[in-house]
Amino acid sequence: MRKRAIRIISCILAALFVLSAAYMIFASVAYAAEAARRDETVYVDMDGDGNITGVISSVYLGNSTGADTLTDHSSLADVKNVSGLESPEISGDVLTFAADGEDVIYQGNGDAANLPFSISISYTLNGRPVEAAELAGQSGRLGITVKTANNEKRTVEVDGEEVEMYVPFTIVCMYTFDETFTNIETSGKLTSQAGSNSVMGLLMPGLRESLNDLENDSIQDTLTIEAEVENLSLPSASIIGIVGLVDESDLSGLDDVQTMIDGLDDMESATKELRDGAKELRDGSREFTDGVLEFADGSQELTDGAVSLVEGAAELTDGIGASYDGVDQLYSQLGSALSGLGGAGGDTGAGEGGGGTETGSILAPEDIETIKAALMTAGNENAEAIIAKLTNSLTALAAASAALEEIAATQTEMAGRLQQLYEGVGQLRSGLAQLYSGSGELTMGMYDLASGSQELTDGALELADGAVELTDGIDGLYDGLQEFHREGMQELVDETSSISVSLSRKDALLALSDSYNSFSSTEAVSTGSVQFVFTVEAIEPELPIETPAPEEAVPATAETEEPGFFQRVADWFKGLFS
């Protein structure tokens, strides 16, 4: 569906550039209810060097009143009636046609000297000027220059002053190159379609002079093309000339040019405000980016600190664990020691029968005397000595018993203190166990903090990267707006300020455009139009003439015929939408 629409649009655009075809075919329908008019299409043949080899003009005469005969004043020679069989009556420059109420179309040969503009074509090959005949089959860097000149200079009145201006013409030059042409450079527009390249140049000779704007490079009168070529074969080129201006610089297409220029001043102010706003946005973005970068740095420091805390907490946990192990071992040893001493609160004092005497002896004095009497009765001569030794032994035994009592008392005191130490170590052991558990939880918490802090840091860094890209983008926006304001809008305002001086010439240009509506008429035409179609001869190598065998002959079919001029124009426009 899209291809069909493009094909239709292309053909319509082609028809707009070659109005003569429409006039010839549909004139009787289009103007059946209108006043008689004269429309003319001039076909100009040129050789490869741009020399004119023939001028044929096709003239359409409208017959809105249904007159039996129509007359025309023409400078054409060898006139032929295309719409009827009867030849016209010729008297000087007056042609009289039998119309029988119908429109009339006729053709004749024109004088090239009367063309309103001239076209010159020149070539270079590897920088050397050459003629077209030398180019066929050559290879190298080809240069093509198409230069136009306006021959219709008129003296007109502008603001009470007589000035010289040119009738405005728009000349469209079209070249098509096949794949043997590469590295194409042109001052016109280059498009590619279906393996071929097309160049279009839009030339307006004399317009800069008419606008008194000689420095305006956007208005061209010359098309240049350069390309690398192999075995050169250059197809015919098409050049269309139309009265008036057909691109965006068309003064006749603007209802109020001064309003546009006033609007440019407002637009210039608006772009300045937009530029200033972009500057504030850029400054704010830079501050935001700096803040995000500082936040990212702080977050990174937090992460590093959290990692250090994790490491410290882990070391603390390990230390607490080691301390617990030592205390637990001490607790066990103290428990064993207490068990050896009878346990906590065990009996470590002297026996109940171990009470001493004032003499420090285990036996009472009366007991000793009883033992002594018994020994003497028994006739033991050594009873005194034995009693003395016994007394000494008993005295020593009493002293030892007292010492044991002191040791027992000391042992009891040590057991009590050891019990207190045991209980204290037990409390310490329980506290270390709790501390170890809490330290483990602290380590895990620190680990979670470090992980969260790292995620925060990563997010901050991504945010910082995005902020930097945002700032860079805003910087680019600001620079672009600044350049647009400085070099774009300001330049446009400056250029249009010079054009506004030329606005007083607008009416004169439009009047000149309306005044030129005929090529061959020898009298003024009240209602009419004229356009020019130039065809530049192809440059091709000469091929040897060969007579194919009968069975090799290829019958001519519609598919093998070379497309005509109008089809080539339509195909070119189609390429603009591909």
Domain assignment of residue 531, yes or no: no
Averaged pLDDT score across all residues of the chain? 74
The answer to whether the CB of 174 falls within 8 A of the CB of 167 is: no
Can you give the pTM of this predicted structure?
0.50
Could you read off the pLDDT of 56-99 as tens digits, one per residue?
999 999 988 898 899 999 999 999 999 888 899 999 999 999 98
Q: What is the CATH number of the domain that holds 145?
A: 2.60.40.2960
Distance CA(524)–CA(259), nearest Å, equals 35
Q: Does residue 129 surpass a pLDDT of 90?
A: yes
The answer to whether the CB of 395 falls within 8 A of the CB of 406 is: no
What is residue 77's predicted lDDT score, i.e. its pLDDT? 96
Domain assignment of residue 472, yes or no: yes
Q: Please, which contacts does 425-431 make with residues 24 or more away whose CB atoms are closer than 8 Å?
A: 425/327, 425/330, 425/331, 425/334, 426/331, 428/327, 429/324, 429/327, 429/328, 429/331
What is residue 1's predicted lDDT score, i.e. its pLDDT? 44
Q: Do residues 124 and 95 share a domain?
A: no
Q: Do residues 98 and 171 share a domain?
A: no
What is residue 345's predicted lDDT score, i.e. its pLDDT? 40
Could you read off the pLDDT of 362-399 as tens digits, one per residue?
556 666 677 767 666 766 666 677 777 767 777 777 77
Domain boundary among 472, 491, 510: 491
Q: Do residues 329 and 352 share a domain?
A: yes
Q: Do residues 302 and 435 share a domain?
A: yes
Could you read off the pLDDT of 437-461 as tens digits, one per residue?
777 777 777 777 777 777 777 877 7
Q: Do residues 234 and 308 share a domain?
A: no
Question: Average pLDDT in the 509-529 region?
Answer: 90
Question: Average pLDDT in the 201-209 region?
Answer: 90
How many structural domains comprise the chain? 3
Q: Do residues 108 and 122 share a domain?
A: no
Q: Do residues 380 and 242 share a domain?
A: no
Q: Do residues 484 and 354 share a domain?
A: yes
Q: Do residues 148 and 102 share a domain?
A: no
Domain assignment of residue 478, yes or no: yes
Q: Do residues 89 and 142 share a domain?
A: no
Could you read off the pLDDT of 297-326 as tens digits, one per residue?
777 777 777 777 777 777 777 777 777 777
Q: Does residue 522 surpass a pLDDT of 50?
A: yes
What is residue 30's predicted lDDT score, i.e. its pLDDT? 34
The answer to whether the CB of 528 falls within 8 A of the CB of 39 is: yes
Q: What is the CATH number of the domain that holds 371?
A: 1.10.287
Domain assignment of residue 98, yes or no: yes
Enclosing domain of residue 152:
118-249
Domain boundary among 73, 94, 112: 112
Domain boundary among 473, 491, 509: 491
Interior CA angle at 565 toward 56 and 246, to 5°?
A: 85
Distance CA(134)–CA(321), nearest Å, equals 102
The answer to whether the CB of 372 falls within 8 A of the CB of 384 is: yes
Name the residue among 483, 485, 488, 478 with its Cα closest to residue 280: 478
What is residue 90's predicted lDDT score, i.e. its pLDDT? 94
Could you read off the pLDDT of 210-267 as tens digits, one per residue?
888 777 777 889 999 999 999 999 999 999 998 987 543 444 433 343 444 445 455 5
CB neighbour burial string for 462-490, b if at least 16 within 10 angstroms, e if fewer: ebbeebeebbeebeebbeebbebbeeebe
Q: Do residues 212 and 344 share a domain?
A: no
Domain assignment of residue 254, yes or no: no
Domain assignment of residue 512, yes or no: no
Could you read off the pLDDT of 160-171 as tens digits, one per residue?
889 999 999 999
Name the residue among 192, 156, 158 with its Cα closest to residue 176: 192
Domain assignment of residue 527, yes or no: no
Q: Do residues 141 and 215 share a domain?
A: yes
Domain assignment of residue 305, yes or no: yes
What is residue 112's predicted lDDT score, i.e. its pLDDT? 95
* 436 vs 549: which has the higher pLDDT: 436
Amino acid of residue 313 = A
